[in-house]
Amino acid sequence: MLISILMLMAFNRQNKVKVIFFGDSITQAGVNPGGYVKRIDSMSRQQGKLQYEFIGAGIGGNKIYDLYLRMEDDVLSKNPNIVVLYIGVNDVWHKASSGTGTDADKFAKFYQAVIDKLKAKNSKVILCTPAVIGEKTDGSNQQDGDLTEYSKIIRGLAEKNDLPLVDLRKAFLQYNLVHNTGNKDRGILTTDRVHLNAAGNQLVADEIWKAIQAL
Amino acid sequence: MLISILMLMAFNRQNKVKVIFFGDSITQAGVNPGGYVKRIDSMSRQQGKLQYEFIGAGIGGNKIYDLYLRMEDDVLSKNPNIVVLYIGVNDVWHKASSGTGTDADKFAKFYQAVIDKLKAKNSKVILCTPAVIGEKTDGSNQQDGDLTEYSKIIRGLAEKNDLPLVDLRKAFLQYNLVHNTGNKDRGILTTDRVHLNAAGNQLVADEIWKAIQAL
Amino acid sequence: MLISILMLMAFNRQNKVKVIFFGDSITQAGVNPGGYVKRIDSMSRQQGKLQYEFIGAGIGGNKIYDLYLRMEDDVLSKNPNIVVLYIGVNDVWHKASSGTGTDADKFAKFYQAVIDKLKAKNSKVILCTPAVIGEKTDGSNQQDGDLTEYSKIIRGLAEKNDLPLVDLRKAFLQYNLVHNTGNKDRGILTTDRVHLNAAGNQLVADEIWKAIQAL
Amino acid sequence: MLISILMLMAFNRQNKVKVIFFGDSITQAGVNPGGYVKRIDSMSRQQGKLQYEFIGAGIGGNKIYDLYLRMEDDVLSKNPNIVVLYIGVNDVWHKASSGTGTDADKFAKFYQAVIDKLKAKNSKVILCTPAVIGEKTDGSNQQDGDLTEYSKIIRGLAEKNDLPLVDLRKAFLQYNLVHNTGNKDRGILTTDRVHLNAAGNQLVADEIWKAIQAL
């Protein structure tokens, strides 16, 4: 009992486990009420795991190279203990929507460079695959091929760098195979094919929270 | 015996069953030695089915609306008995390679307009789905999502118009699941991810020849 | 006086000069109050030129091949005396915004095919160049190069087919060189870089009305 | 005479003025015989200006963010006295050719970040505008609008950072207005609309060599 109290005392503000969520608009919205970061924060408190401090670092429209550009200011300077990388949707999506996506080989290169900088700062890193651009389960969402390819790249980087992976793309597909029998393109885990509704935020929160605790 | 002779005589030049293959560069190459049109022609002769005349009408780079524009000159004016429609790769591919693909809703609209004109001329019509842009079997070819969607559109048009369908996309995937265990992006049925090698031409020839005979 | 009355009587409904404006969303909005078609209609009445009947045939998102597809239903079946062709913005714009623009060579081909069908119906044809995607006058709007190229194609077709040309692209640039000294990308003749505000609708109305009367 | 000898001795290997050309395939080819870097090297020697050491650091397909990613290894680690930044063609071009160009706002951001890192290393910096994608002089090359915009961004950065500018885009246009009266898209200063022929390499060499000497 005394030990528990001492342990809790030890996790004062200075000694908190700082977790930064580094990503795009999905993560930017994640810190809003109902967002996945907010949900992880709530879950951790409810479970009495008070040692964590959760910080959102998501900016709309970001691709992997935007993360690389701003990581000194927005992540490294804050000395995080854990960084959750959740990026890739815009790298694929912007090819079609504005002609400014990211080539697969450069995606891999910048992603590795982000990992290297985090490791050099002794931060633990959790990788996430980009979930969906469209929720149809029959493989007919326009970007399904590319999202699968970029997810494979991230899975490969997790393995190569021996890092934990939260395979959101796989989790979303499995969820939708059960809950999206109508093959709809939105409305099950997203509001608009990309951004998370309540169920989507909860699913992401559950998956990432598991990975954080497993570190 | 006499009847057979009379039958063969009846299929003189004027009375041949004229089959036009209407498509893009894949069909343009199809009339070359080893091409799928040439192979159908050879198979039909070997099987003693001499009543057919096979004509290639493929032009490189064509999309569905290019077929619509030139169908009077290249197809209708020749009074075909059967038209095999094999189109869709460029409608999808050119989105990424030059920004000039075809929107899905317009693809469906022009495709239906082509069918309507052929039907109005009392031509029988066989629809084909676009096979592949990349032969990987794990769904990670860049255009897999879109090709699947455009194939669904064609399947829907076949059903709606009560027309026979040669589902090349399905046939290629099934073949590759057996023969492309290394998940290569080319070299099994194509030379370059899109255009057919010998095995690809034979597979297309077999599938379409079955459909022609089933009419 | 008697002659005038007889003339007016002669222009009864059946004998009106039917003018169809064939285009995209700019023309679709042109029939609304304040739109360029509405303005031409008002000007003609104010000038006592009552022999015209003006009909809008614009649909949002249309490119040259969409006009070709629907011209039988929307234009030819109405036996127009004059058709004003105003198309090209989406053929260029959609390259960047959705990967579904129109290649320059195919733009020229379909444009000629539309002209041919109108001529075959003995309709007079007026060609317009696409005005602007962005109003900056220093040549730095993203699509300036392509819009200039597609305008050159239309100018060439006007010359080759001996048809009157309303060079809106040139007119807009000249107007903006005077009125847009701040090099703004919108707000002078358009509301949003593409669609016409009151001044833009009036400029288009003036230019086209001159061309109609000059026939 | 003695002074000259002493001066030459002073410019031994350690004390040479190290100039790095940092860019894309145009610069990668610049170190080949006849290339612009090679020409600058030859001119400097012929003029007896032996204090310079010229190093090419161009990689095909590079955009501004690729330079940012590799600048530590390829530029900063070599402690250059002068860095010539010549980038931007792929940032614009790849929008249409593969859907992977660079948004204008991000181009500006990464470009500034590259400048900042060079300044922090006390390197002098020379900026170049991207010359051409197509040599037509009437503003009808597909990317003319965008290239003009990105050149404006670079001109703005030169002014804001008080850095010398080599305005290759302007120089190429002026040259072509005289020498390309046929409005050809290639063959005057480029071989293929983008990469430099002998005249193009000489023009670039002349312009940059002037700027280096003016530092």
pLDDT at residue C13, rounded to an integer: 53
Residue A144 CA to residue A151 CA, distance in Å, equals: 10
pLDDT at residue C14, rounded to an integer: 60
Nearest to D80 by CA among D51, D46, D118: D118
Taking one residue from A and the other from B, the number of pairs with CB-CB distance under 8 angstroms is 47
Q: Which chains touch D (3 or more CB pairs under 8 A)?
A: A, B, C
Q: From the CB of residue B176, how many other CB atoms can be counted at a distance below 10 Å? A: 18
User: C59: burial class by Cβ within 10 Å (0-12, 13-18, 19+)?
Assistant: middle
For chain A, the average pLDDT equals 95
What ipTM was estimated for this complex?
A: 0.92
Low-confidence ranges of chain B (pLDDT < 50): 1-2, 4-12
Which of D142, D146, D148 comes nearest C138 by C-beta?
D148
Residue B190 CA to residue B135 CA, distance in Å, equals: 8
Mutation site, A93, A94, A98, interface C, largest C CB count within 10 A: A98
Residue C4 CA to residue B204 CA, distance in Å, equals: 71
For residue A107 the two structure tokens come to 């995606």
Give the minimum alpha-carbon distance from C147 to chain D in angstroms, rounded to a whole number: 8
The percentage of residues in chain B with a pLDDT greater than 90, rounded to a whole number, is: 93
Contact B109 C69 (CB under 8 A): yes
Cα angle at A159 between A157 and A160, to 5 degrees?
65
Per-residue pLDDT at C93 exceeds 50: yes
Contact C36, C43 (CB under 8 A): no
Mutation site, C95, C98, C100, interface A, largest A CB count within 10 A: C98
Give residues with Cβ within 8 angstroms of C96, minimum separation 6. A98, A99, B99, C142, C143, D95, D96
> pLDDT tens, B54-102?
999 999 999 999 999 999 999 999 999 999 999 999 999 999 999 999 9
Binned at pLDDT 50, 70 and 90, residue A1 comes out as very low
Per-residue pLDDT at C58 exceeds 70: yes
Nearest residue of chain C to residue A96 (CA atoms): C98
Per-residue pLDDT at D5 exceeds 50: no
CA terminus-to-terminus distance, chain A? 25
DSSP A76: G
> pLDDT tens, D34-62?
999 999 999 999 999 999 999 999 999 99
Give the minimum alpha-carbon distance from B147 to chain A in angstroms, rounded to a whole number: 8
Amino acid at the residue B39: R
Alpha helices in chain C (DSSP H): 2-10, 25-28, 36-46, 64-74, 89-97, 104-120, 144-160, 168-179, 198-213
Nearest to C88 by CA among C142, C130, C144: C130
Global pTM value:
0.93
Residue D194 CA to residue D208 CA, distance in Å, equals: 18
Residue B185 CA to residue B133 CA, distance in Å, equals: 9
> pLDDT tens, A88-134?
999 999 999 999 999 999 999 999 999 999 999 999 999 999 999 99
Cα angle at D149 between D148 and D153, to 5 degrees?
115
Contact A151, A130 (CB under 8 A): yes
To 10 degrees, what angle do helices B168-179 and B198-213 make? 140
Residue D147 CA to residue D141 CA, distance in Å, equals: 10
Alpha helices in B61-214 (DSSP H): 64-74, 89-98, 104-120, 144-160, 168-179, 198-213
Q: Using a CB-CB distance cutoff of 8 angstroms, which residues of chain A are in contact with residue C98?
A: 96-97
Element (H or E) spanning D21, and its range?
A: strand D17-23
Mutation site, A65, A91, A97, interface D, largest D CB count within 10 A: A65
Per-residue pLDDT at A53 exceeds 90: yes
**φ, ψ dihedrals at D212, nearest 5°:** -65, -45
Nearest to D211 by CA among D1, D9, D19: D19
A165: which strand partners?
A: A127
Per-residue pLDDT at D130 exceeds 90: yes
Per-residue pLDDT at D6 exceeds 60: no
> pLDDT tens, C5-55?
444 444 445 689 999 999 999 999 999 999 999 999 999 999 999 999 999
Contact A106 D66 (CB under 8 A): yes
Q: From the CB of residue A181, how many other CB atoms can be counted at a distance below 10 Å? A: 10
CA terminus-to-terminus distance, chain D? 26
> pLDDT tens, C180-214?
999 999 999 999 999 999 999 999 999 999 999 99
